[in-house]
Amino acid sequence: MPDKKSRPLRHISPESSAAKAKAWYIVAALLLIGSLVALLLPFTMQAVSQWRQTHAAHDATSQVALWPQGKVADEYDAAQRYNAQLAAKPQNVLGEAPDPFTGSGGKAKSQSETNKTYQRLLDTGGGIMGSVVIPKISVDLPIYHGTSDAVLAQGAGHLYGTSLPVGGASTHAVLTGHRGLPNALLFTRLDEMHKGDVFYIKVLGTTLAYKVDQITVVSPDNAKGDLKIVPGEDRVTLMTCTPYGVNTMRLLVSGERAAIPGQAPPLDDAPKDLTLLWTAMGSLVALGVAATAIVRWLRSSPAAGRHSTRVFRQ
């Protein structure tokens, strides 16, 4: 029988093998970089959003500093008169809807939006009346009039029908904020607050301190009873959704006025939260290590490619 023709042998050069190996390394590197970007993107978006919110709050404070002293006194007196009127009658209207996080569903404007007197009170420009600062959880947010969807997307909202946040006996201001937004932290970490923690309100060039003494979780239908004025008290309540990602209940973190410095430290001396700083530094270090490893990987020729002597039949 005739011999079968043998197939010619094709030699794979070390250079070709190395090129293929390096191509796979490039694909792996791109996948790794993509994963790191996807991991860091939400954090970056939240950091940028937080910077904008803090900047807006500080701009409002700077604006008040430029007002004549007489205007500051007039604004404070007007806010006190508004609060006295609220305390003198039942608080039948609280918020934009049955619940501040429900939203208006695109319907007619809420009472807070149509109440021009309310909108003018404490307005430092752009609807900002002050800021809420919570050092323990790195919060520094502008406080806007009302709790519309647009307001809650960019800061804390003042619940219409509650006292304006200027302090004083028989006042109870309620500030609301979203939790768990992908592009903003806002009140996401409010559940980390405990009794005895302090938060601050900056309004009309003055800083007020409030020490947490009540933390409750209630249903939206039963929240309003906890948000009304108690005669003689000077109180501020921070309100958000809970549990995280489910949002069927409302978390209320409430504090009573605390004297500075006797009962609460000055804002500049309050303990600072370093969680975001360490997270940012850790992320940058991880990204730097990964980038360095990838660059070294791509610059070196794969050992398998340099020493390949394999042959294959066609």
Kindly tell me if the per-residue pLDDT of 277 is higher than 70.
no
Do 80 and 166 contact (CB within 8 A), yes or no?
A: yes
Do 251 and 180 contact (CB within 8 A), yes or no?
A: no
Task: List the domains of the chain with CATH numbers.
Answer: 42-276 (2.40.260.10)
Residue 58's pLDDT is what? Answer: 83
Long-range contacts, 281-290 (Cβ 8 Å, 24+): 283/40, 283/43, 286/36, 287/36, 287/40, 290/32, 290/33, 290/36
Kindly tell me if the per-residue pLDDT of 172 is higher than 80.
yes
pLDDT: is 67 or 212 the higher one? 212
Q: What is the mean pLDDT of the chain?
A: 82
Residue 314's pLDDT is what? Answer: 43
pLDDT: is 20 or 131 the higher one? 131
Is 241 one of the catalytic residues? yes
pLDDT: is 151 or 5 the higher one? 151
pLDDT in tens, 93-125: 888 766 777 665 545 567 788 899 999 999 998
Kindly tell me if the per-residue pLDDT of 306 is higher than 90.
no
**Annotated catalytic residue, options 11, 172, 241, 307:** 241
**Annotated catalytic residue, options 58, 178, 194, 307:** 178
